[in-house]
Amino acid sequence: MKTSSKSKVSRKLSRKCCICGGPTFSPKSNHCYGCHQIALHMFVRNIHGDRAQEIWDHVRKYGQVCFYTKIRLDMTNPKSPFYFVFDHMIPGEDKVVLTFALLNEMKSDMIPKEFWYSLAPMMPPPALPPPSKFFKGLAPKCLLCGKPVYAPHAMYCDGCHQFVHNMDNRRINNDAAKKILKHVQRCGFFCEYTQTPLNMTDYKGRFYYEFDHTIPGDKRKVALTFSLLHEMKSEMTLKEFKYYIGQFANFLRTGAKIKKRELSHWYRLAQ
């Protein structure tokens, strides 16, 4: 009895991926679509040898999931925050693992231990210091911190002058700049999100001050924060950032599954 052409086609398409065991994406391929994309990206990124083998071993054992959180990866949409990427587990070293774009963006140049430390349970922020008291006297004082001004007719000390100058260079919106200056006058140089003291001198420090758009792209809402938080927050609103910090912290403490939530401004980074 002759077999139909339809059954021949189905037999050809029934090949299984040599890595994960899923159906191949074409009759002549040895990989499913996801593993094919991983192989293609590894070739482009020049990941080969033992580094590539470790990634394949992970996929064989767990499937196409994140190395750190075991969350299912998006293998098709490059604009998704859960699209697969390769992360250097320790920045600058050879070991590369499979993760997703959002976690990779937040982890930045931290080792896993430092990243998990930054996801400690969010405690209520400490109380802000009392408002600064300006010095009384004949000598002119800085309008922000009360220290002597750097020149006879200046409005600020040298440090505050550099701070205001940097706001001008970054073209901070006038209303946003006034809000930041009021915060500094009232509380000093502390992060507006966490009340962490800011480093005002060492631009290489992780707590060096930074200006963050509370809502990405909205120039009217800018907050004073520090480099590490600014880097981790990336293209998220403050509400979205707090949500994912909480999700990762819960995973770290209890192993709870991470609940995915769409990000309203992630497309800016994906572009």
Report domain extents, the chain.
158-233
Mean pLDDT of the chain: 85
Kindly report the pTM of this predicted structure: 0.76
The 10s digit of each residue's pLDDT in 185-239 is 999 999 999 999 999 999 899 999 999 999 998 989 999 999 999 999 999 999 9
Q: Is 86 helix (H, G, I), strand (E, B) or coil?
A: strand
What is the average per-residue pLDDT within 74-96? 92
Q: Among the ranges 65-79, 113-127, 137-151, which has the highest mean pLDDT value? A: 65-79
Lowest mean pLDDT among 47-61, 84-98, 146-160, 179-193: 146-160
pLDDT band at residue 67 under the 50/70/90 scheme: very high
96 Cβ contact partners less than 8 Å away, ≥ 6 residues apart: 47, 51, 54, 55, 86, 87, 88, 89
Look up residue 1 and give its two tokens: 């009895």
Least confident of 115-119, 134-138, 151-155, 162-166: 134-138
Q: Are 71 and 65 in contact (CB under 8 A)?
A: yes
- The Cα-based distances of 197 to 116, 164, 207 in angstroms read 21, 18, 8
pLDDT tens for 126-161 read 555 555 444 444 458 888 888 888 888 888 998 899
When pLDDT is averaged across residues 64-89 and rounded to a whole number, the result is 93
What pLDDT does 14 receive? 65
The C-alpha angle 68, 119, 244, rounded to 5 degrees, equals 75
What are the beta bridge partners of residue 145? none
Which H or E element spans position 100?
strand 96-100
With cut-offs at 50, 70 and 90, classify the pLDDT of residue 124.
Answer: low
